[in-house]
Structure 1
């Protein structure tokens, strides 16, 4: 193989590896939080790609979310549900079928494309559940271990 071809392939591989690291290491940006009773919608940019990364991000940032944004906001019975949505190209008018719109915004430009990436909720036993939408459902056990389970 020609030396120039090897050099081009090496540069291309380096660029791809660099891009992959950039995707994995960029910080999550919380764009907005919308509340509807015990349901919270958190709009994000640059959310982790893997199930482990999403759950790990939640574990590291749950206190910050509570302090800064009041999330979760449990119902009187203690139940809550948080959904993390990709903010994508920003707010849009309802226009298109099946956009997620937020009634707490008093403008026509109050909807996003439905790109849910992660959710966290608790159950009647106050156990924390994670849904990653790319891989599965997980439960935070009493001893702090995250285990996969099949949602029924």
Structure 2
């Protein structure tokens, strides 16, 4: 009986270590920006290895927004000062339009100009100078003073 308890404890410990290792690997991957497609003050950024957590996504944006502005010249503000950037998981790459729900880019003159619609994050302007961060189940509002407020979807 004691041997089975020890085996169960070792199995639980090893499983925990494997899960922790996988979580660390996910959180330490470098985000790769594959492409940027623009349509006025809207931009679609295709990414690989985007952070998994809400905090990781927002932190990544805050750390990299200046680099994105310098390298890709986004966000571009509308005449009213608004912008939207949507980050899409590049997944299996570009595909033809097909019969499935896909996001297609008219700035590409090839048949394979679509991706699977898997939005992982978006950043846009809100009322006044608020910045809105949209994740899968919530919208975070960053006030001008840096305060971050989470609003869950109902």
> TM-score if structure 1 supplies the norm length?
0.89
Deviation at residue 149 of structure 1 after TM alignment? 3.1
> In the aligned structure 2, how far is the partner of 1:11 from the partner of 1:39?
46
> After superposition, where does 1:132-147 map in structure 2 within 5 Å?
132-133=135-136, 135-147=137-149
Instruction: Name stretches of at least 5 consecutive residues in structure 2 with no aligned partner.
Output: none
Instruction: Give the superposition deviation at 1:63.
Output: 0.5
Q: Distance in 2 between matches of 1:52 and 1:8?
A: 31
Structure 1, unaligned runs of 5 or more: none
Give me the whole-angstrom Cα distance separating, in 1, the residues matched to 2:152 and 2:116: 27
CA distance in 1, matches of 2:17, 2:26: 14
Distance 1:136 1:32 in 2: 26
Question: Which residue of 63, 73, 78 maps to 2:66?
Answer: 63
User: How far apart are residue 75 of structure 1 and its match?
Assistant: 1.5
Q: Which segment drifts farther, 101-110 or 20-29?
A: 20-29
CA-to-partner distance for each residue in 1:65-121, whole Å, 9 max, x for gaps? 100011111112211111000000000000123100000111000000000011111
Aligned residue pair count? 151
**SS in structure 1 of the partner of residue 82 of structure 2:** coil
